[in-house]
Amino acid sequence: MRFPLDLDYEEWRTLCMEEWHEPPFRADQICGWLYERRTLSFEEMTNLSKELRRKASETFGPAVPKIEKVEVSKRDGTQKILWSLRDGESVESVLLEQDGRKTACISTQVGCPLACSFCATGQSGFVRNLSCGEIVGQFLAMEKDQGSLIDNLVFMGMGEALLNMEAFLKAVRNLKHPKMRSLGARRMTVSTAGVVPGILALAESNLGIKLAVSVHAPDDDLRDRLMPVNRRYPLSELFSAIRFYQEKTGDRVSIEYLLIDGLNDTQAQAERLASRLRGLKSFVNLIPWNTTCETFRKPSPQKVEKFRQVLLSKGIEAEVRRERGEDIDAACGQLRQRRRAR
């Protein structure tokens, strides 16, 4: 079975011309329905002949994952969506609104193989990669559900996008494509736990999307313990890759730094982080740990601010990420975890 959002524009043209013996502009019409009008059923594509609609419906399975559950934060309106996929697996997306701009945070894998010790998804293990269509489908179905366009897209949900490179890159290309969603590359950001070959490949891809890196510790010892991926790609290699990315693209890189009480939030650690970032155009997002288990604690707001002040005093730009959707467990992987526990 094929799925409509798994195809890129060229594949649509080939399908229309070679299999369906239709003129190539049918590809434009179909992509217009799917990506601009977010009509995801061929039966509704009224400018196609009945015969073609029938053929297309027989060729393809459903376009998007199904919404299984939506939770809305009473505090800030953040929405968390649990999707059920065609094989019964599930992933999550989050929709945030800030200053009138909407940002979707979507998943790229079911589970995650990287096993970061603080992350609910990492602790649940890896199941499979999402296809291009399952990635794009989260975004389009959210737009359809909202009845409006979403401004920004971050690949920061479940999974490690840079370990699902083929589907992830295809998803970005389709979202960017002028005949498809035409979402500007500058409106998309991918976050990685530090998969060095993926960062290098992204730098070479010239896609123009923005990069965020989850650093979370300034030394290899601690980072090895928090993020096992560090044993494979230690900080020195990671930072060479980030520098390479910056040389290639000229982009400022976002550095994500999770703050866990008594573990990675001391003044000395802030100083070491600052020296790692020297000479790099970066912006640090400090994320107070979102409670998912008993092992760790969230630092006090005073400690978080102190950490930020040390970075600022070293000339490093840093902000504390406002906590969103805490009452609906909006941290990575929590909703799916709850569903599995039922």
- The catalytic residues are 92, 332
Give CB contacts under 8 A, 24+ apart, made by 47-56. Answer: 52/20, 52/22, 52/26, 55/20, 56/20, 56/30
d(CA 216, CA 260) in angstroms, rounded, equals 9
Write out the residues near ligand SAH by the rule CB under 6 A: 116, 118-119, 156, 160, 191-193, 214, 256, 258, 287, 289-290, 292, 331-332
User: Residue 209: what are its φ and ψ, rounded to 5°?
Assistant: -85, 160
Residue listed under structure tokens 């992830």: 168
Coil, strand or helix: which one is 31? helix
CA-closest candidate to residue 61, choices 5, 13, 136: 5
Is the Cβ of residue 131 or residue 290 nearer to ligand SAH in the bound state? 290
CB of 25 to ligand SAH, least distance (A): 39
**Longest alpha-carbon distance in the chain:** 69
Q: Find the distance separating the first CA and the last CA of the chain, reported in whole Å.
A: 31
CB-based burial, 283-316: b 16+ in 10 Å, e otherwise: ebbbbbbbebeeebebbeeebbeebbebbeeeeb
d(CA 83, CA 93) in angstroms, rounded, equals 8
Coil, strand or helix: which one is 76? coil
Cβ-contact 138, 79 below 8 angstroms? no
CB-based burial, 135-170: b 16+ in 10 Å, e otherwise: bbbbbbbbbeeeeeebebbbbbbbbbbbbbbebbbb
User: Residue 300: what are its φ and ψ, rounded to 5°?
Assistant: -70, 155
